[in-house]
Amino acid sequence: MTHQCRYWAVVPAAGIGRRMGASVPKQFLALGNKTVLEHSLESLWGIRELAGVVLVSDGHPALAAIQERFADHRLIRAPGGSERCHSVLNGLTALQQSARSDDWVLVHDAARPCVRHHDLRSLVDTLACHEVGGLLGVPVSDTMKRTDTQGTVSETVDRRGLWHAHTPQMFRYGLLKTSLEQALRDGYQVTDEASAIEHAGYSPLMVEGHADNIKITRPGDLPLAEFFLQQQGRL
């Protein structure tokens, strides 16, 4: 007898966001009448198949209110790690009593509040029968340059086939967990979940999304995110 796989999400939210230069981590900054993190979580809860979300974050005063706000949903807490990849692994470990090996897990940046429901739906539907999984992204449209350490251009890089990798990134629970564990054992630099999957010898699928799925990193990103949310009718 076969079972239906479930969908889970892991949101690493333990970073401190040094480049923002703010007094609080960027995921807890106000964006309209909610925090950046709340907008990101609300986006994910738009996926009707979602069985639960693991919020990976250490103690912050805003967390209690956020947890209360999402009391009607299954919100699981997990402690942060030293790097993002360790936080994601902590989140996966928190699911080990609930998730089956072939369940899907969507890992989404806490500081990407503008991801569109249409793009989330496209990711879930496109990858439903895929052997490996994949991620949202947008094709590179600018001319790409490579420079040396002094900033001098050394070459123009062919942009054909180049993409900006976004989140969510969606993979089977068992494959993602073992791939991350293996990459860390190997001392491989894990820049995102897809890189760990690639290191394990698999080829993720890139699913095209919208360019407004920005990651809030620098001060100028916050008003830009507010503009995008207004354009989407979410503010």
Please compute the mean of the pLDDT values over residues 185-201 and round it to a whole number.
97
Which domains does the chain carry? Answer: 7-135+167-227 (3.90.550.10)
Half-sphere exposure of 205 (CA within 13 A, CB side): 16
pLDDT in tens, 49-87: 999 999 999 878 888 889 898 988 999 999 999 999 999
pLDDT, tens digit (0-9, with 9 covering 90-100), for 28-41: 999 999 999 999 99
The pLDDT assigned to 62 comes to 86
Q: How many CB atoms lie within 10 A of CB 87?
A: 26
Q: For residues 72 and 82, what is the distance between their CA atoms, to the nearest angstrom?
A: 30
In residues, how long is the chain? 235
Model confidence at 121, pLDDT cuts 50, 70, 90, reads very high
Q: What percent of the chain has pLDDT over 90?
A: 85
Asked whether the beta carbons of 206 and 137 are under 8 A apart, the reply is yes
Number of Cβ within 10 Å of residue 77's Cβ equals 14
Peptide bond preceding 204 in cis form (omega within 30 of 0): no
Cα–Cα dist 214/210, whole Å: 9
**Which pLDDT band, with edges at 50, 70 and 90, does 4 fall under?**
confident
Half-sphere exposure of residue 6: CA atoms within 13 angstroms, side-chain side: 11
Model confidence, pTM: 0.94
Q: How far apart, in Å, do the first and last CA atoms of the chain sit?
A: 46
